[in-house]
Amino acid sequence: MNKFIKTIGLIVAFVLIISVCGGCNSKLPQETPTAMILIIGNHANSKDCTFSLENDIADIYSNFGVVNVVSVDGNPSIAEYPAEKDKTGKVINKHNPIGYLDKTDLEESKRAYQTNNDLWKTRYLNPLVKQVIDAIDKVSADDPEVDVLKALTVAEKQLNQIEKEYGGNINKKIVICDTGLSTSGSLNFINEEENSLLGMQKQLKADEDGKSLVKNLVNNLNVNSDIPNLKDVAVTWYGLGAVGGEQEELSNLAIKNLQYIWGEILCKSNVTPNENKGENGTDEDFGFFIDINSREDIVNDNPVTKVVFWSNVGEPLEGGDGSSDPPLIAPNSLFEKDKATFKKGIDPEKQLKQWADNIKLYPEKKFLLVGTTADPKKTGGDKDLSLKRANAVKAVLMKMGIDDNRLEVKGLGSLAPWYDENEWQDGKFLNDSEAANSNRAVRILPINSTLAQKIMQGNYD
């Protein structure tokens, strides 16, 4: 009997060993490893797309490839982990690139993979992917500008360096998470040429003049050596045109045109064509772009230069009689309560700098600053206060170099056509509501726009 029990025990132990070692003695992957550069634009005017990256990162590390990250701002660079320090404050681990694995870690990981694949996933792969995702979430721009084209150049150089280290035996991939609304560098959608191109009320790819303008833009960039050489590089772009925060939402037409501009630039850079256009969520024209419009805005307190399509501001919406709300230049939060003075601790020049810089780019344009207020007594609001606030904003812009004759002011109280009636609910005035605060603001319009002309003539409806 004891012998039988021992035999059963040995069989059970053997089965357990087999089950535990189901992933034992795995051979290393035979595929060529991939070097992937993640271009990350964690801006206050964009949406979160890091949810899309976990599988991409896991695939690269599962094949013992390389992951690096480029942070997008006005001067893109390779993003690094914070330096680690011991209890005395001494640096024990220098700033390494996000995703970095030294040779010792890589070889240890390979041995663990060969010994037990399942255990390797638990102890190496999953923690490494989480570490990279957590680090990406903390990547933040150092300035309020965005230069995606330069970020692609940084990625190109990094891929070439990695390829050299691997003796050429490596695949190359770039994954971009950014709106694509560059505000600095050689491709800059604040500049009048690119701005008017993107703001056109027609689809560029379906219009001969539009296609010609894009072709000229791309050729000029190429002649000036601003487009990197991305031959044999596969590209995936999450969130093109998916703006958030204070950036005005792009129309479907503007997103299509932005996609066409960037698609032509990427084709000019010789990226690897996607043979499966329109599949796996990609666009049908290029196969590079994946929509993430349903995602949440990135939480970031650093201001980002907004792109304003002045040719459309204050003009009737396509297919309707009304206009979109004019851009908000100075929200209620900048001012003392019920006053035209800026709050203590607020630097109005810093808050309005991006607007001053933008206005300077259009020296021929004149603008109308329109102050508005809430209407707690249903008497048309406080026109005097709204005018004083518009004048306060004008004074700051003038101090920053905008000529007096380029700025007109108007105070409408609560009589603006964009007045939000939701500050009143069930017969009660909601003083701290989002609607009431949005009504207490200063907005900006091109002086020659249809809406600005109506306001100047006293026609507020």
Task: Collect the ranges in the chain with pLDDT lower than 50.
Answer: 1-22
If asked whether residues 45 and 142 sit together in one domain, one would say yes
Q: What pLDDT, on a 0 to 100 scale, did the predictor assign at position 50?
A: 74
Q: Domain limits at 255?
A: 34-290
Angle between helices 383-399 and 348-360 (to 10 degrees): 70
Q: Tens of pLDDT along 284-337?
A: 999 999 987 656 666 666 667 888 888 888 888 655 555 677 888 999 999 998
CATH number at residue 379: 3.30.1330.60
If asked whether residues 364 and 274 sit together in one domain, one would say no
If asked whether residues 73 and 211 sit together in one domain, one would say yes
Structural domain contains residue 24:
no
Structural domain contains residue 7:
no
Structural domain contains residue 122:
yes
- In this structure, the strands spanning 441-446 and 428-429 are unpaired
Structural domain contains residue 169:
yes
If asked whether residues 75 and 177 sit together in one domain, one would say yes
* Three-state helix/strand/coil letters over the chain: CHHHHHHHHHHHHHHHHHHHHHHECCCCCCCCCEEEEEEECCCCCEECCHHHCHHHHHHHHHCCCEEEEEECCCCCEECECCCEECCCCCEEECCCECCCCCHHHHHHHHHHHHHEHHHHHHHHHHHHHHHHHHHHHCCCCCCCCCCHHHHHHHHHHHHHHHHHHCCCCCEEEEEEECCCCCCCCCCCCCCHHHHHHHCCCCCHHHCHHHHHHHHHHHHHHHHCCCCCCCCCEEEEEECCCCECCCCCCCCHHHHHHHHHHHHHHHHHCCCCCCCCCCCCCECCCCCCEECCCCCCECCCCCCCCCCCCCCCCCCECCCCCCECCCCEEEEHHHECCCCCCECCCCCHHHHHHHHHHHHHCCCCCCEEEEEECCCCCCCCCCHHHHHHHHHHHHHHHHHCCCCHHHEEEEECCCCCCCCCHHHEECCEECCCCHHHHHHCEEEEEECCCHHHHHHHCCCCC
Number of domains in the chain: 2
Of 272, 290, 308, at which residue does a domain stop?
290
Structural domain contains residue 301:
no
Structural domain contains residue 308:
no
Give the span between the Cα atoms of 399 and 141, in whole angstroms: 27
If asked whether residues 118 and 243 sit together in one domain, one would say yes
CA distances (Å), origin 157, targets 68, 204, 223? 12, 31, 19
If asked whether residues 111 and 214 sit together in one domain, one would say yes
Q: Tens of pLDDT along 226-252?
A: 999 999 999 999 989 988 877 878 888
Structural domain contains residue 449:
yes
If asked whether residues 247 and 352 sit together in one domain, one would say no
If asked whether residues 354 and 246 sit together in one domain, one would say no
Q: What pLDDT, on a 0 to 100 scale, did the predictor assign at position 411?
A: 96
If asked whether residues 377 and 439 sit together in one domain, one would say yes
Structural domain contains residue 155:
yes
pTM: 0.79
Q: What pLDDT, on a 0 to 100 scale, did the predictor assign at position 138?
A: 85
CA distances (Å), origin 67, targets 133, 274, 388? 11, 21, 54
Contact residues for 100 (Cβ-Cβ < 8 A; gap 6+):
68, 81
If asked whether residues 273 and 344 sit together in one domain, one would say no
Q: What pLDDT, on a 0 to 100 scale, did the predictor assign at position 430?
A: 94
At residue 94, what is the residue type? K
Of 290, 312, 337, at which residue does a domain stop?
290
If asked whether residues 335 and 239 sit together in one domain, one would say no
If asked whether residues 98 and 235 sit together in one domain, one would say yes
